[in-house]
Structure 1
Amino acid sequence: MKALVLAGGSGTRLRPITHTSAKQLVPVANKPVLFYGLESIAAAGIREIGIVVGDTHAEIEAAVGDGAAFGLEVTYLRQAAPLGLAHAVLIARDYLGDDDFVMYLGDNFIVGGINAIVSSFGRERPDAQIMLTRVGDPRQFGVAELDADGRVTGLEEKPAQPKSDLALVGVYLFTPAIHEAVAELKPSWRGELEITDAIQWLIDEGRRVESTAITGYWKDTGNVADMLEVNRLVLESLEPRLLGTAEGSELIGRVVVEEGAVVEGSRVVGPAIIGPGARVRDSYVGPFTSIGADCVIEHSEIEYSIVLPRASIEGVGRIESSLIGHDVEVTPAPTTPRAHRLVLGDHSKVQISS
């Protein structure tokens, strides 16, 4: 079995971060989301993996390399434009050959891994196997309809009037039969080749499509709120570790201070992680916060946030529920005249207390 990991796409819901960074490399607990998926694939015993990349290919390739660090053999497959999940299968046809494969969306996060479903698929070998979970607003997802016996009878991508609350999780398992289905597809109303339409073709042709209800935690980390929630979840499992230095400071609970990091005159309440080379001085770092490598936090308070490498936050009050990008500088505004001074990229969202 091979794996096909989708790491293209523009990540519009994470702008402005994704104007300059691949959404799959935004970190959770100081590790890119994509890496958790690669580790799950390797843990399931899969070694050959094709990664579909787009405009951010250089960044993805630099981060993952040849895959050896994960115990994988990586082949990169260029997708000229994000034209749908089924389009990714189409361009990977030669790479996949006649092998079964698992398709994994690189910005999805699944607790518990995929070992069980990969083993089940290997034993039973349906033409397709999908993972489902109940969601509050199924209009944002691919939606499955099941009959009274739990068999998949229909699929629809982002329906205006969903027929169930069962959303497709971003992991799919296929035999080579999926290539027949993909070859028959026409673009949807979104202008994309939909994987839901391909699976529906299999159903209509009498092929065997199975579903599994996910028992662990799943998130599509496509927006800031979901990124922060996944970061919270991962930090919950931290084991405290002090590899850097903490002078005149309180480290309370599950706190990780990485090598080369310095915490001075500060209070850090876990779960929280301070990345390598970071400096926290005369500050408060609250629960569910990830401070990236070489960041500077001085005379400030921050909680329930993700701070990417080399950012600096100096002399500001309290920051909460924030995602702060690479090399960002956050400083106090002049006290007079009282005004907000902003330099914002396209598609930014700002909340200001007047």
Structure 2
Amino acid sequence: MNRRKLMASLAVIPAIGLATPVFAQEEPLKVGFIYVGPVGDGGWTYQHDLGRQAIEEEFGDRVETTFIESVPEGADAERALSQLALAGNELIFATSFGFMDPVINVAAKFPDVKFEHATGYKRAENVATYDARFYEGRAVMGTIAGRMTESNKIGYIGSFPIPEVIQGINSSFIHARKVNPDVEMKVVWAYSWFDPAKEADAASALIAEGVDVILQHTDSTAPLAKAQEAGAIGFGQASDMSNFAPSPRVSSIIDNWAPYYIERVGQVLDGTWESKGTWAGIAGGEVEIGEITEAVPAEVKEEALALKDSIASGEYHPFTGPLNRQDGSEWLAEGQVATDEELSGMNFFVEGITAKIPE
């Protein structure tokens, strides 16, 4: 049938009363993600991708998701974000701190696209930020570390010297010291979020200094592998990393992004999305404490879980005075609690940490 005959036949259908209205199927909401590491890193990126999968499970064919993995922070991030926007994604999640300026730059070019940036602080009308209070989980890990160390030397592998990481180092140390006043903390910087070789070298350097408990704010399982070789213990970072349980991985801090992602996608779908900043923790379910294995004595496990519960209830804040800065000057008086503004700009170590923050 040629086009003229087709149109003529369609024209008579209403007259004989046989037609029912036909509406075009609503297109699915396209949601894009960029990841700083590979989805198989077993840590940070893996958890974000679980959140992406949770969106698909929750909304089915109402959404269509895609991701670009292993995106370096900088110009490459701008290209990846632009690629997702040009591909028709109406909501884009950028899941690493160093994507902050690329998000702001690309968002200005695509005002009709909504952007969400993880762990950043710059917002715009179409840019929201979201973060988790990782320092709450670090307090619990620090408690276990302080109880479990035999050498009284615990180590911390930092990624970059930004407030989020400095908060974690301070919180871990404060709570290790609370249960073990003889604890020393060694800090090594990897200057990468995900680089197994650098992370392994950092763990080896700490072990060479007598460290027998390793914490990390980097994304691979390489430090746990080194701890296993040396007979040290460690903790899962961002994800459970349960392949290393019951030891050296004796517990973990888990980032659960799924509830947030589901909430925000739902708000785009129902038209209620707005730019805002979100910073949730243990109480909000974004920070979880993984299984505490049998390698940890029962009384230590009980102590750690009690701390978790007191943080969740709001009874206790991990940064409660008296606390001094590294140089001995007073920071928080007895009973005083750090404000979110102080924490979000934290650029100093607390008293007792001898390591220096790189300039």
Superposition TM-score, scaled by structure 2 size: 0.30
Higher strand share: 1
Q: Give the structure, 1 or 2, with the largest relative contact order (CA under 8 Å, sep 6 or more).
A: 2
